[in-house]
Structure 1
Amino acid sequence: MTGGPAQAAGSTVRIEDVDIRFGDFLAVNGASLDIAAGEFVCLLGPSGCGKSTLLNAVAGFVPPASGRVLVGDRPVTGPDVSRGVVFQSGEALFPWLTVKQNVEFGPRMRKLPKQRRAALAEHYLDMVGLAPSAKRLPGELSGGMRQRVQLARVLANEPTLVLMDEPFGALDAQTRQVMQVELDRIWRESGKTIVFVTHDIGEALLLADRVVTMTAGPAARIKEVYEIALPRPRELTDPDCARLYRRLRDDIGAEVTKTLRAQGLDDGHAGRTPEGAGAAVIGETHGR
């Protein structure tokens, strides 16, 4: 497209021995991780394990108590347009603005010329498949469509890093699966680095180059990093994918069991595989 965006390459991310505290509460302890430019990384773990907290540190919303985060070799000291955040709820959109106006909002705040703003909005709305809905209001859209608008709005700011905090968590199962396929396509087309928080094992396997599991909090740590060297598109029924699913399920299930014990809720089956007590807490939302 003439006048369209010159796509910025994805940026590297380096998390160096990061502690995150809220008062006396140690939420994340000694997290270290390197992410390559253009990589898709999922942070995976049970609720309360610090996934979103670590993501917020990368976004610049939460300052580390110690250690540091670098994006593209620059220390993160606060929010920045180069790091776009897609939240779980489509309510983050401005309901009084049209789809196109929502996508143009960031470039307008950056004082880009009108023609440039329009070109960016048209390009990214076309990328997320919503060009025909440009004049509609968010309230006239489905949940999945609103999430696509959110993604287009973030991409229109031309970030090198996209941070996604359980963006499909509020969607029904069928819409969620469609959005996963679409996100995989958009990631490959855009070349952005994506860090994606989820508690859904299947979602992580379908999307990620690497899956990073975290221990149960408080003082959550990065537990394991899994390389997902499987061809795309992926199917959870593929034997190699199914084997990885079981490894991740056991890994996360062990952390769920620790949480249950700490809460005094262990039913006497703490040593059992997550196919028992743990899996009931994790949930397998794909039903596959």
Structure 2
Amino acid sequence: MAKGIPPPKLDDTPLAPGLYVVATPIGNLRDITLRALDILAAADLVLAEDTRVAGKLLHAYGLSAKLERYDEHGAERSRPKAMAALAEGKRVALISDAGTPLVSDPGYRLVSEAAAAGVSVFPIPGPSALLAGLSAAGLPTDRFLFAGFPPPKSAARRTFLEELAPIRATLVFFEGGSRLAASLSDMAAVLGETRDAVVCRELTKLYETLYRGPLADLAADPRLDAPKGEIVILVGPGHEAEATADDIDTALSDALLRLRPAEAAAEVAKALGLSRREVYQRAMAMRAKP
């Protein structure tokens, strides 16, 4: 048992057959849930992205399990074995090296095949670098898009970012330290230099650090030139320019050719993010002009 970690009090309720998608710590080993420990203790087979990493986690809690490697390179070989075990009514747990499986980690095809075969799939929620970053960034969370890892080459990365630029939501990326400065530079160029952003480094670990500021400032920050550790980048949705009176009148003139004033006002108000009442009053004033 690792020093400082108390032994878990496991639930001895029998575990139902099926596939258990188990979230594991992204850094701090104490972030694992009691239910995750129950599953790992009772599973007939644990599929791990790296069995060495999984072994350290199990050892820290005094657990042992039959481990099988399941990463992007060996998945085609391991998946038939896992499906055979599930067909026999075994309890199979899927874990990644850190965080929630399938979020930029292997496992999608296994879950898809298991569900298609009528196998019960159980989500065992827990740590996630994506959600941890969102919770601490201070950027809007009512709408967000997880975009994964940007392409490694600048030209492909800029094309990738151009597709995301119009999306009115907080954008979340994973990135490696060696490409962080280049990615931030391309993000500033494509998404906008003044867009608020946060770079999260080593979340939940000893040297956890959050850097906040406009994208241009973060791109120029020498501390973010190839830092060590896991990186999450969050970019705010930016700010739309307010519609001018001419913008409103132009939109209303077009809408009134097709719709009644109330309907035209509703359409324009939604499109421009304005008060429906104010736009309706403007529409009625336009209709009243000779």
Please report the TM-score for the alignment, with normalisation by the length of structure 1: 0.32
Please report the TM-score for the alignment, with normalisation by the length of structure 2: 0.32
Q: Which has the larger radius of gyration?
A: 2
More helix per residue: 1 or 2? 2
